[in-house]
A = this chain, B = another copy of it.
Amino acid sequence: VKTEIGVGMIGLGNVGSGVAEALLGRREYFARQVGAPLIIRRVAVRNPDKPRSVSLPPGVLTTDVRAVVTDPAIDVVVEIAGGEEPVGAYVLEAIRAGKHVVTANKELISKAGPELLHEAHSRGLDIMFEASVGGGIPLIAPLRRDLLANRIDRIRAIINGTTNYILTRMAQEGLDYEVALAAAQGLGYAEPDPTNDVEGIDAAYKLSIMASLGFRTRVRHTDVQTTGITRLTAIDFANARDMGYVIKLLAVAERLDGGIVARVAPVLVPHTEPLSRVDGVYNAVQIEGDLTGSVLFQGRGAGAGPTTSAVLADLLDLAHAIVLGARERKYWGPDVDVPVLGSEGHESRYYLRFAVQDRPGVLAQIARTLGDAGVSISAVRQQESSSGEETADLVIMTHSAREGVMADALAGIAQLDVVTNIGSFLRVEG
């Protein structure tokens, strides 16, 4: 019987410090819940002399990651350093040295989760990664456990706080993208190089993890069709609002005939949908199961406190299982191979905005091109363009059409002389 659980940590930034502070400050409470105290043995950091908010006993800090992952007194390695390499190699080494792992690393789990889990499970070990998606919102555990009996049909999520903050500012204050981005950077919500967030890459990692768990198959981040938010303009937000919509960067994975589709893109969400009201740095995930119907999870998707909460949930759960002598739990997909489909067959309504020449017959030409492709129009708005003198902005909402058909129609429209450019092409979700 274990009388102490040895904890090793890789990384002692904001989240790492939060985890360490709680392990020290709530030690008695955690020991009662788990059945044994959790003791921080070693923490790998780059610079051990840096001043930190948490004070650890002498000798705990080390610059040698291998001293953490191979320490025989360590049962669980908590990885909160982030990135794929070299951290992935360390995690693998920890597993091979017989350690359970708790990680907040979405990139690593998205890219190598199933392989790492296989390595762990073959040794009676587990890898937990609740903090990799949605910060403090329980999502991984519900997908692994609480909704296990369901056939999951759809996951719709706002899971990137940076972009949601930017889009909220654009929607509420009419800001242009660059201005809202700069504001987010000023507040530390966006990084100096915001590519990972604003191009939807971060959201694609997270969606691939949730979709893999939900559909119990392997959905790679490269399977996720990803469109960023950088081409959105204040005009699109004003148009959306006037028509009863909000623009959100939505991560959607859904089951269709013959497979699943997964995509991250800015879309129009009707004001009536709960996801339309998830603002600022909040995250929300809507999961549809065939038994339970639609369940919504909402909360702070990032930040030291929420991420600390999720890391500790996993750590306490693992520690408790160790005390009880349990072997690893499975609950990670690859149950069946479900093909990941292209989006051609996916149907939705669309919002289109064109810059067109401001002369008679333009709308007729565009309408004919859409009609010939089989796409029917539900609403049209034409307004003077702010950008040029001879052009106008034409906004079209379509009825439901297959994306492949829509793409063909757009290709035809792009060739029309009267169309200066295709400004926006956004799906309507819900």
Pick the residue among B30, B35, B136 that contacts A293 (CB under 8 A): B136
Rounded to whole angstroms, the CA-CA distance of A312 and B137 in the bound complex is 22
Q: Which residues of the partner chain B approach A299 to less than 8 Å between Cβ atoms?
A: 292-296
Most B-side CB within 10 Å, residue of A300, A303, A309 = A309
Q: Which residues of the partner chain B approach A303 to less than 8 Å between Cβ atoms?
A: 293
Are A292 and B320 in contact, CB atoms less than 8 angstroms apart? no
Rounded to whole angstroms, the CA-CA distance of A280 and B289 in the bound complex is 19
Q: Which residues of the partner chain B approach A313 to less than 8 Å between Cβ atoms?
A: 145-149
Rounded to whole angstroms, the CA-CA distance of A32 and B290 in the bound complex is 19
Residues of A within 8 A of B (CB-CB), count:
56
Rounded to whole angstroms, the CA-CA distance of A330 and B320 in the bound complex is 9
A13 CB-CB contact with B under 8 Å: no
A258 CB-CB contact with B under 8 Å: no
A130 CB-CB contact with B under 8 Å: yes
Given contacts A33-B331, A148-B316, contact A300 B292 (CB under 8 A): yes
Which chain A residues in 136-190 approach chain B with CB under 8 Å? 136-138, 141-142, 145-150
Are A22 and B148 in contact, CB atoms less than 8 angstroms apart? no
Are B138 and A142 in contact, CB atoms less than 8 angstroms apart? yes
A123 CB-CB contact with B under 8 Å: no
Given contacts A289-B136, A305-B292, A324-B329, contact A310 B146 (CB under 8 A): yes
Are A291 and B317 in contact, CB atoms less than 8 angstroms apart? no
Are B298 and A296 in contact, CB atoms less than 8 angstroms apart? yes
Pick the residue among B130, B136, B312, B327 that contacts A324 (CB under 8 A): B327
Rounded to whole angstroms, the CA-CA distance of A294 and B277 in the bound complex is 15
Are A138 and B146 in contact, CB atoms less than 8 angstroms apart? yes
CB-nearest residue of chain B to A150: B309
CB-nearest residue of chain B to A288: B299
Are A149 and B300 in contact, CB atoms less than 8 angstroms apart? no
A306 CB-CB contact with B under 8 Å: yes
Given contacts A145-B317, A146-B313, contact A136 B331 (CB under 8 A): no
Q: Which residues of the partner chain B approach A328 to less than 8 Å between Cβ atoms?
A: 324
Q: Which residues of the partner chain B approach A289 to less than 8 Å between Cβ atoms?
A: 136, 309
Are B335 and A329 in contact, CB atoms less than 8 angstroms apart? no
Are A149 and B22 in contact, CB atoms less than 8 angstroms apart? yes
A321 CB-CB contact with B under 8 Å: yes
Are B325 and A327 in contact, CB atoms less than 8 angstroms apart? yes
- Nearest CB of B to A403, in Å: 29
A18 CB-CB contact with B under 8 Å: yes
Most B-side CB within 10 Å, residue of A138, A297, A306, A308 = A138
Rounded to whole angstroms, the CA-CA distance of A164 and B61 in the bound complex is 54
Are B325 and A329 in contact, CB atoms less than 8 angstroms apart? no
Other A-B pairs beyond A292-B309, A293-B303, A295-B300, 11, CB < 8 Å: A33-B331, A33-B335, A135-B292, A138-B141, A138-B147, A149-B316, A277-B277, A292-B300, A292-B305, A320-B330, A324-B327
Residues of A bordering B, CB below 8 Å: 18, 22, 26, 29-30, 32-33, 35, 130, 135-138, 141-142, 145-150, 274, 277, 289-300, 303, 305-306, 308-310, 312-313, 316-317, 320-321, 324-331, 335
A-B pairs, top 10 by smallest CB distance, nearest first, are: A136-B292, A149-B312, A326-B326, A138-B146, A295-B299, A291-B309, A292-B309, A296-B298, A291-B305, A293-B300
